[in-house]
Structure 1
């Protein structure tokens, strides 16, 4: 949380998610102080250090108020405020070790706004042990209605996309939302396929997708699944589907165009271009969605 409109949207989204899952919410503000001998001397001045700390506390108070407005009187939700003076990425990665997910805004204030989608978000997604949610500036009137909009997930058959699929099923179940499973094949730089060849490939691809989805229906009988197998660039089609989605889920590594997702063109395009929240699930799926049986016992 840095006080920007984007981070405020992230707090609001995280509060709704915490309330939905009945989980604690931790709000973190990182004070990234300038480094170097001169700045070290300047920041050693007690008054300046105290001012920076008070500013961080004010940011957290505002964030706490936003979260409380969403949570209301839900006593099962605990909001913890944390002010840290350290590396932004380091603090968030540490938080991810015990978090169900880490939620960040797409844009920040000051210097952060220039590189949040670059070094900070890329590094966070590379090293986070939990899924990372990137929330865009929120316009309530333009967002799809949560009760009817689907959860969208990209599937390419890689282990990372399998982790994303597991997370997406769980989110769709919690939200009572349909799930759209996207498998898009295509590359603008490749040779175009004649229609007859694509039709044969499409049938094979749909069979593979159906195989990947086998068994999920038994675990999540409440989730209505739509398979979307198309000849299109993955990023382009995921962005199209995200326009009417309440959430788009991708794995952090995949095959072909999905390899190195958040550092390559596909992931960058999805995270930057989607107007709804995007979840990036780590390769090992650690700290992913809770076990279905565990949830049923709660």
Structure 2
């Protein structure tokens, strides 16, 4: 089925023990300086004593390096982000300090959405924009809302091109009218699961691929996994996982990508891992407790 702290690099750099107040004298330092002519000519040469109030070259070098290091760290943490209230950044990789750990890469994610369905909208007229649109549409078409007449019409009308939407709705309504799809899914004629149970139909895009991009049209493939079934004690349709590839023919219409054709095929499916299946209760709690994502590349 198709469905974002400041490091305090403060550090006490050791005081010069020859400076007044240094640790070696409890706060005072007494020097004895012989006249230049009284030096013992056979004694080993004395190391020069820094003048009072003038730091040694080594100390100046250390402080300079530390200052440069702190400046570099501060610049890296800034990440080129702006100071807008929503924490957005002109950097397409989302490297500002306010970026979430799951921030998308590439083009900035869209901010618009359909007022009825909540499906993301306003995608960029680029390859990445088309991929984002296809991933979002795969999530919508694989959702549990597609099994209810009213929400199905809203979803199809929101993501399909006007002419394609009419023909697609006719085919879908006919397919669901016989109740065979609904009964096989464990639902009643209105798309509802048995009392006390949860219907699960959630698509999770794994990746997208541009198969064709020609400015106003694009063909995008979406590889995805899907959770589907009825979660609850005594369910005869337990939630299972499947893998599919959805392919979308998209057209640029009135400032956004719209679907003109949609197909689905099985796989590629990975080898299943030897992992204990969750109980019916745990699965129901997970589906209700973990919300789905709006995908944007």
TM > 0.5 fold call: no
In our comparison, the structure showing a higher alpha carbon Rg is: 2
TM-score by length of 2: 0.27
Q: Please state which structure has a larger fraction of its residues in strand.
A: 2
Task: Choose between structure 1 and 2 for higher RCO, CA contacts under 8 A separated by at least 6 residues.
Answer: 1
TM-score by length of 1: 0.27
